[in-house]
Amino acid sequence: MPRLKVESDIKNIGMEGNMSLSLKVWRQSNKDAAGGFENYKLDHVSPDMSFLEMFDVLNEQLIEEGKEPVSFDHDCREGICGACSMYINGRPHGPLRGVTTCQLHMRSFKDGDTIVVEPWRAQAFPVIKDLVVDRDAFDRVISAGGFVSVNTGNAQDANALPIAKEAADDAFAAAACIGCGACVAACKNASAMLFVSAKISQLALLPQGQAERSIRAEKMVAQMDAEGFGACTNTGACSAECPKEISLENIARMNREYIGAKFSSSAV
């Protein structure tokens, strides 16, 4: 880690590049307030900045001007926590495939661009402030059945249960979902099928998930519906925009799981 050139000076932060941008950013003070776009000009943007670092510069500029900075969710800034959630020029996480907002860099934009930034829009994800939305609905869907019911201390030796590499790899691919909600934001129906199906798939593919396989599919789908997510019309926007490229196959598998469960039980 090279020395932070703080003394040389802090005022230069964000003054090292030569891109100029116009930003149209959604501002909304709380979930009940009316929101609207605000326009900002930003100069000296470096192509090496991440999109969120560009927002850091904007916010420092706003503070300097005595204006309130833009609220946005972010945390790990390495594409894995799933917190960042900007809808950029009409696409969740912006123009690149398989990339979260925090891993999107300004080299993907051109000098003079106008960039429109909105929050995720879905009935099940109410706006908290500006670009920050409430995604608690996802946690409640997991609580409904996205687990294996195994208390600590119950486990047998890990290698007592061989799992075919292909099954383990497929389960891992589904489990790579970061729960960001881009699938919901991308869908014209605000459907959460990709998110829910990724968890159902992961556990349906593994022997550990078999005991609760049916009830899991039923309960998670019921909770998904109760949260107000829309129906799936198979457009595939969710998977196309997913920063972890979670496959549509998961939705097909979830449909099989759900129909199978419905035929065989009356639990939910």
Partner 1 sequence: MATSSRLDAKIPQGSIESKWSKYRSSVPLVNPANKRNLEIIVVGTGLAGASAAATLAELGYKVKAFCFQDSPRRAHSIAAQGGINAAKNYQNDGDSVYRLFYDTIKGGDYRAREANVHRLAEVSGNIIDQCVAAGVPFAREYGGLLSNRSFGGTQVQRTFYAAGQTGQQLLLGAYSGLQRQVGMGTIKMYNRHEMLDVVNIDGKCRGIIARNLITGELERHGGHAVLLCTGGYGNVFYLSTNAMGSNVTAAWKAHKRGAFFGNPCFTQIHPTCIPVSGEHQSKLTLMSESLRNDGRIWVPKKKDDNRPGNAIPEDERDYYLERRYPAFGNLVPRDIASRAAKERCDAGYGVGTSKLAVYLDFAAAVERYGRGEANKNNIHNASDADIVTWGKAVVKEKYGNLFDMYKQITGEDPYEVPMRIYPAVHYTMGGLWVDYNLMTTVPGLYSLGEANFSDHGANRLGASALMQGLADGYFVIPYTIGAYLASEIRTGKISTDHEAFVKAEAEVRERIETLLRIQGKTSPELFHRRLGKIMWDKCGMARNAQGLKEAIEEIRQLRRDFWSDVKVMGTANYFNPELDKANRVADFIELGELMCLDALDRNESCGGHFREEYQTEEGEAMRDDENYMYVSAWEHKGPENWELHKEELVYENIKIAQRSYK
Residue from 39, 151, 263, 266 in contact with partner 1 (CB under 8 A): 151
Q: Is 214 in the site for partner 1 (CB under 8 A)?
A: no
Residue from 42, 116, 163, 222 in contact with partner 1 (CB under 8 A): 163
Within positions 20 to 39, which residues make up the interface with partner 1, using CB under 8 A?
Answer: 29-30
What is the signed CA dihedral for 127, 147, 98, 164, rounded to 10 degrees? -170
Q: Is 253 in the site for partner 1 (CB under 8 A)?
A: no
Considering the complex, what minimum distance in angstroms separates the CB of residue 116 from partner 1?
22
Q: Is 220 in the site for partner 1 (CB under 8 A)?
A: no
Three-state SS for 197-211 is HHHHHHHHHCHHHCC
Considering the complex, what minimum distance in angstroms separates the CB of residue 264 from partner 1?
22
- 125 or 258: CB nearest partner 1: 125
Residue from 34, 39, 153, 188 in contact with partner 1 (CB under 8 A): 153
Neighbours of 90 (CB within 10 A): 10
Please tell me what DSSP assigns to residue 95: S
- 208 or 255: CB nearest partner 1: 208
Specify the stretch interacting with partner 1 by CB under 8 A; choose among 61-69, 116-124, 227-235, 246-254. Answer: 61-69
- 58 or 261: CB nearest partner 1: 58
Beta carbons of 47 and 106 less than 8 angstroms apart: yes
- 112 or 153: CB nearest partner 1: 153
Residues 6+ apart with CB under 8 A from 244: 98, 176, 177, 178
Specify the stretch interacting with partner 1 by CB under 8 A; choose among 111-119, 152-160, 228-236, 251-259. Answer: 152-160
Q: Is 210 in the site for partner 1 (CB under 8 A)?
A: no
Strand 127-129 and strand 36-45: the pairing is unpaired
CA dist 14 → 8, 19, 63, 105, 107 (Å):
13, 10, 14, 14, 14
Within positions 77 to 106, which residues make up the interface with partner 1, using CB under 8 A?
Answer: 77-83, 98-99, 103, 105
Residue from 23, 58, 109, 129 in contact with partner 1 (CB under 8 A): 129
# residues near partner 1 by CB under 8 A: 91
Paired strand residues for 92? 87
Residue from 95, 97, 123, 147 in contact with partner 1 (CB under 8 A): 147
Strand 19-27 and strand 114-118: the pairing is parallel
Q: Is 142 in the site for partner 1 (CB under 8 A)?
A: yes
Q: Would you put residue 112 in left (φ > 0), alpha (ψ -120 to 50) or beta?
A: left
Within positions 167 to 196, which residues make up the interface with partner 1, using CB under 8 A?
Answer: 168-169, 171-172, 175-176, 178-179
Containing 196, the helix (H) or strand (E) segment is helix 193-205
Cα distance between residue 24 and residue 114, in whole Å:
7
Beta carbons of 199 and 139 less than 8 angstroms apart: no
- 159 or 188: CB nearest partner 1: 159
